[in-house]
Amino acid sequence: MSWEAAGWMHWPDHPEASAQFVRTLGVAQEGAAAISECFLVASRIDPADPVSWHAAWMDRARRTHEGAARAQGSGQLQTAKAKWLRAAAYYRASEALLAPDDGRRPAVFSQMLACSQACLRLFSPIGEILEIGLQDGSVVDAYLVKPAGAGPWPCVICVGGLDGNKDELLPRMSRAALARGLALLLVDLPGQGVPLRVRGNPSRPDTEVPVSACVDYLAARRDIDADRIALYGASLGGVYAARAASAERRLKALVSDSLIFDLQAAFSRRLALQPTGDWAMLQWVFGCDSPQAVVDKSGEFRMAEFMANIACPYLIVQGEHDFLGLQTALDAYAFARAAGIDVELEVFTSEDTGASHCQADNPTIGQELIADWLQRKLS
């Protein structure tokens, strides 16, 4: 175990397992894990063995799930809400190292959804579980959570990254946003969450289509202020969000919480260095049958092709030691400034913590900064 510039490394010789462990441990601050539970799980994991990883997290998820059900049955609703949130996070963690075609994934994902949605029903006001239709007949799945009171509220549409989903964003973003009077529409775009795993819809370059459908939906609600809608994207979602904002002019603010300015160049470098590496996740998400097809499709996500059309205030957040690198954010910021965009760049350093990808080692300080910025822009 060691503390490094990018945060906690539980197994220094196993960076992927360590990163996934921090991803779950970090949200303990937001109520989606318990520190002692996480370290108990880690003590039962061989980081070189994905089977032991899955088994240890599944055992903790089931125990927490059962505890949530008992608490709810006894009328202990605050305890139930807390345990549902933790159980969902532990189910998510249990599949983090499984192959995309692993037969255990569907059942684990279904349990995660059930726990998240049981938690949402104990929010006050009750969280809403939505299916937002697109004109082509496809659907994006979403959760809506709001502050207490009548509104109308400003609202932030939120999307996750390559292997992220709306359920992971629920604990990560809710506390900071709701406390500042911001409603959240947490969305699974094509290539994420339910659209990918249940509906079989891979990622699509024209992210403005599903995002505009979300704006249409929010604008029709009386409890949401249609003139104060923003968009947030984490990791690959930072690219998705920028693409959507370049075409959807009703958005009043935009946040990319980590990004890759030239996705095609990044994937091309990876293919040259790791031609036989694990491309399975990328092929699944992008709906491609080969690594080269992923590289080809990623050309439609190059930010230089659309970024100049962003018309709203734009915040780019990157960790000094993000595994994507800092230069990619510096390049995006320089391009945005040259294009005349109202852009700001915030970099988290190792001295502040939060210097890892999407502030995984300390998401609280990231969300404080981002929620404060959104509150100012939407006030």
Give the per-residue SS3 of the chain: CEEECCEEECCCCCHHHHHHHHHHHHHHHHCCCCHHHHHHHHHCCCCCCHHHHHHHHHHHHHHHHHHHHHHHHCCCHHHHHHHHHHHHHHHHHHCCCCCCCCCCHHHHHHHHHHHHHHHHCCCCCCCEEEEEECCCCCEEEEEEECCCCCCCEEEEEEECCCCCCHHHHHHHHHHHHHHCCCEEEEEECCCCHHHHHCCCCCCCCCCHHHHHHHHHHHHCCCCEEEEEEEEEEECHHHHHHHHHHCCCCCCCEEEEECCCCCHHHHHHHHHHHCCCCCCHHHHHHHCCCCHHHHHHHHHHHCHHHCHHHCCCCEEEEEECCCCCCCHHHHHHHHHHHHCCCCEEEEEECCCCCCCCHHHCCCHHHHHHHHHHHHHHHHC
Q: Which residues pair with 129 in a beta bridge?
A: 143
Q: Which residues pair with 140 in a beta bridge?
A: 132
CATH topology (fold) of 125-262+302-379: Rossmann fold (3.40.50)
Answer with the residue of higher pLDDT: 115 or 1.
115
What average pLDDT score do residues 140-149 get? 96
Ordered by start, the domain boundaries in the chain are 6-122, 125-262+302-379
What average pLDDT score do residues 302-328 get? 97
Contact between 231 and 244 under an 8 Å Cβ cutoff? The reply is yes
pLDDT digits (tens, 9 = 90+) for 25-54: 999 999 999 999 999 999 999 999 999 999
pLDDT digits (tens, 9 = 90+) for 261-296: 999 999 999 999 988 878 999 999 999 999 999 999
What average pLDDT score do residues 196-201 get? 95
What average pLDDT score do residues 221-244 get? 98
Report the pLDDT value the prediction gives residue 1, as an integer from 0 to 100.
63
Say which CATH architecture domain 6-122 belongs to.
Up-down Bundle (1.20)
pTM for the whole thing? 0.96
Percent of the chain with pLDDT over 90: 93
